[in-house]
Structure 1
């Protein structure tokens, strides 16, 4: 029986999750996290997409992703294919790197955007990898927390910060304070 086609809702963000095969690690060393970021940079140059937030865990990753020009399935197919090629080549492996097709859920409103972003940023805290989300180096939380951090060109902080009023500094503070009050 064929798989159901993915439905792409134009101009909406999606919560995307992709997990390592057999829940095996996707990222073993710092270079693996860096390679994944590099792949995102490369693909963004060819197929524009935006991330509102992201978190790369040891055996899975979360993206809050929007594509304005091509379906999400095309973007995700390229991301996972390129990372699989990198991973299998580096570790002299063959076969599946990812467990199955990625999970995706369209985000339709402000509450959903904020909830997904917080969920993504809290992942390393809930997994007891760090005490605070800003201590985890492979998430976008530090981009919200630190006004001097320069986000990659594919990260659109305003997709979250525009839900708050005030200066950019006030918006960042409000987002991070709400996050802290939930812990």
Structure 2
């Protein structure tokens, strides 16, 4: 039985989720998270893509991503292959690092974009790893909360902030308030 072919719409964002094999950790320490970001940086230099939000959890990761030049199947193959090579080499392992093919869902409107980013940023809170999203260092939430954060070249916070009106500071505040309100309501799932 063959796999269903992935649909790629170049101008649309997708919610991508990839989990470690057997739900084992993908990231064991800070250097693993940093290696993943380094891989994204290297690939971005060759294959432009942009993230609206991201969160790297211990055993999986979420990307809100758009690739306008190459299909996701190729981009994700490169990301996951490079990270799997890094991981297996570092920990002297062989075999599969990822559980299965990544999950992908197209996001086709403003509400979907905001809902997915909220879900991504609240993931560590829902997993009871932190009390507030700004306390989790491996998500993009701090890039929205703290204007002086150094934004990686592959992240474009304006994609989400432009859904709000006002100055940059007001838009950041409105975005972060929407995350806080969702947390208080207990609404994190897309």
Larger deviation, residues 57-66 vs 67-76: 67-76
Aligned-pair distance for 1:129?
0.3
Structure 2 matches for 1:95-134, cutoff 5 A?
95-134=95-134
Tell me what 1:66 maps to: 66
Runs of 4+ in 1 over 3 A off after TM superposition: none
Give secondary structure in 2 for the equivalent of 1:54: strand
Aligned-pair distance for 1:2?
1.4
Count of aligned residue pairs for this structure pair: 183
Give secondary structure in 1 for the equivalent of 2:3: coil
Give secondary structure in 2 for the equivalent of 1:42: helix
Tell me what 1:138 maps to: 138
Query: For the residues of structure 2 that align with 1:46 and 1:10, how far apart are their CA atoms?
Result: 17
Tell me what 2:81 maps to: 81
Aligned-pair distance for 1:127?
0.3
Larger deviation, residues 56-65 vs 1-10: 1-10
Post-superposition CA distance 1:129-159 (Å, at most 9, x none): 0000000000000000001112100001011
Tell me what 1:164 maps to: 164
Relative to the length of structure 1, the TM-score reads: 0.99
Give secondary structure in 2 for the equivalent of 1:77: helix
Aligned-pair distance for 1:10?
1.6
Query: For the residues of structure 2 that align with 1:179 and 1:94, how far apart are their CA atoms?
Result: 40
Is 1:29 matched up with 2:29?
yes
Relative to the length of structure 2, the TM-score reads: 0.95
Tell me what 1:46 maps to: 46
Aligned-pair distance for 1:38?
0.3
Query: For the residues of structure 2 that align with 1:96 and 1:177, how far apart are their CA atoms?
Result: 40
Query: For the residues of structure 1 that align with 2:75 and 2:163, how far apart are their CA atoms?
Result: 26
Query: For the residues of structure 1 that align with 2:46 and 2:101, how far apart are their CA atoms?
Result: 22
Gaps of 5+ in 1: none
Query: For the residues of structure 2 that align with 1:16 and 1:104, how far apart are their CA atoms?
Result: 5
Tell me what 2:182 maps to: 182
Post-superposition CA distance 1:106-132 (Å, at most 9, x none): 000000000000000000000000000
RMSD: 0.5
